[in-house]
A and B are shown apart, each in its own frame.
Chain A
Amino acid sequence: MRGLGIGAALAVAVAAVATARADGELTVRGAYYKERATRVEQPMLDGRFDVGEAGSLDAHLLVDSISSASVVAFDEKRVEAGAGYAHVVGDYTVGGSARYSSEPDYKSAFGTLRAQAEAFDKNLTLGLTLGAGHDDVSNAGAGDMGRITGTLSSYLVAASVAQLLDENTVASLVYDLSYLDGYQQNPYRRVVVAGGLMPERHPTTRARHAAAAMLRRYLPRTSTTVVGAYRLYRDDWGILAHTPEARVIQDVGDTVTFGLSYRYHRQRAADFWRATYTAADAYVSDDPKLARLTTHDLAAKLVVTGATLGLEGRWEALRGEAMIEYYVQSAAFGNAIIAHAALTIPFEY
């Protein structure tokens, strides 16, 4: 009797799927990052699936393979999985997401709830995201050093607004406030303090504010999209950062797109950052990210669709992508080369 019930339910479910076709796409991507002492290889899989008439499910899985030949040489893998769901109800979209990441010395879980509202005939979109996470940190890869463990709680509130300015222009503004509470130093790093070596010591709380504005405009005469963005960042560790970015995306015919982008980042050092520390300093750090620094990021990207290769039907929408990026850093990490290759396969089910 129970078997019959399950069979009937399955038959109804199969019939529902068979009659209501849905779209989805699967992206396979490989990313490569190489700088003087660190190399990262990251294969990843991203999927998006329509769920019924109003739902959308996305999921990702990635592996970070990190090799470093810096002061503490290591070779490790990080695995991350995440999924999100969004449901449209009239002019509102509600949803949430979850992400879990695991590596030998760091576990992290983060969840978000999202809401979005559209107004004025979908000319204005307002969004709100709330998130919270928990991380477990250790120096598990340090061999015979004394064991260090710590936890970190993180919270996120993000508000966004996007407005159509005309039939070719959209402007958007995002404000993020994140608050971190817990272990925030690197458990392996040592700092020279008054001639001796001390473990790194950072404040246990950090409030981070970031506001980003973006303007996108499509130029129909040349089939060009130009994107201008600027982010202002400030936190209570004293870091103030300006990050402008420009992108140009050029359609070449109907099936090929070529993009160029440039991003500049400049930041002030954290208040407690010093070139040399004394025993009287409450916080000591050897983290290059907390110093005054600038970065330049130049990237070129080529996207071709299946139609370029003469594919027909739903394979026309197949998308292949190649990207090369050069990242110039004033910090001791040295400059980096980044490369991506991706293939997106659309499907129906």
Chain B
Amino acid sequence: MRAVSRCRLVVVLAITLLSGCAMVRPHERQNLARRSMTADRDPGEARFTQHKTGAREGADGGTGEPGGGCGCN
């Protein structure tokens, strides 16, 4: 019951926050389309960095990409 209430609270908060966002029109997105705002890291840099931290830290993930894949354990 408590978990359901908590879940409802999260959903209500999310809807409130999202509804408070201003609608950004396509012609207002020139700054959002800049490279620094979309992907300031190339796939190769991101992959190497995830590989490095995955091999040296006990935590991994949070990127939406699979980690591991090597014997650098």
Q: Are B71 and A295 in contact (CB under 8 A)?
A: no
Q: How far, in angstroms, from A329 to B52 measured CA to CA in the complex?
A: 12
Contact count A vs B, C-beta below 8 Å = 188
Task: Say yes or no for A205: interface residue by CB 8 A criterion.
Answer: no
Task: Say yes or no for B3: interface residue by CB 8 A criterion.
Answer: no
Q: Which residue of B lies closest to A213 (CB)?
A: B62
Q: Are A164 and B62 in contact (CB under 8 A)?
A: no
| Chain B residues positioned under 8 Å from A338 (CB to CB) | 52
A202–chain B nearest beta-carbon distance, Å: 9
B54–chain A nearest beta-carbon distance, Å: 9
Identify which of A106, A247, A265 contacts B70 (C-beta below 8 A). A106
B32–chain A nearest beta-carbon distance, Å: 6
Q: Are B69 and A127 in contact (CB under 8 A)?
A: no
Q: Are A208 and B61 in contact (CB under 8 A)?
A: yes
Q: Are A163 and B62 in contact (CB under 8 A)?
A: no
Q: What is the number of residues of chain B that contact chain A, defined by CB distance less than 8 Å?
A: 43
Q: How far, in angstroms, from A132 to B18 measured CA to CA in the complex?
A: 32
Q: Are B57 and A295 in contact (CB under 8 A)?
A: yes
Given contacts A29-B42, A120-B23, A259-B40, contact A231 B64 (CB under 8 A): no
A8–chain B nearest beta-carbon distance, Å: 38
Q: Are B44 and A241 in contact (CB under 8 A)?
A: no
Task: Say yes or no for B47: interface residue by CB 8 A criterion.
Answer: yes
Q: Are A167 and B26 in contact (CB under 8 A)?
A: no
Q: Are A267 and B57 in contact (CB under 8 A)?
A: yes
Q: Are B58 and A340 in contact (CB under 8 A)?
A: no
Query: A45-86: contact bitstring with B at CB < 8 Å (1 yes, 0 no)?
Result: 010000000000010101010100000000000101000000
Q: Are A239 and B59 in contact (CB under 8 A)?
A: yes
Task: Say yes or no for B56: interface residue by CB 8 A criterion.
Answer: yes
A328–chain B nearest beta-carbon distance, Å: 11
Task: Say yes or no for B34: interface residue by CB 8 A criterion.
Answer: yes
A-B contact pairs, 29 of them (CB 8 A): A31-B45, A44-B47, A46-B42, A46-B44, A64-B70, A78-B70, A103-B70, A105-B71, A121-B25, A122-B26, A131-B66, A133-B66, A137-B71, A158-B64, A158-B65, A160-B64, A167-B28, A167-B29, A174-B64, A176-B64, A178-B60, A208-B59, A231-B61, A265-B59, A267-B57, A287-B73, A293-B57, A327-B52, A327-B56
Measuring CB to CB, which residues of chain B are less than 8 angstroms from any residue of chain A? 18, 21-26, 28-29, 31-32, 34-37, 40, 42-45, 47-48, 52-53, 55-73
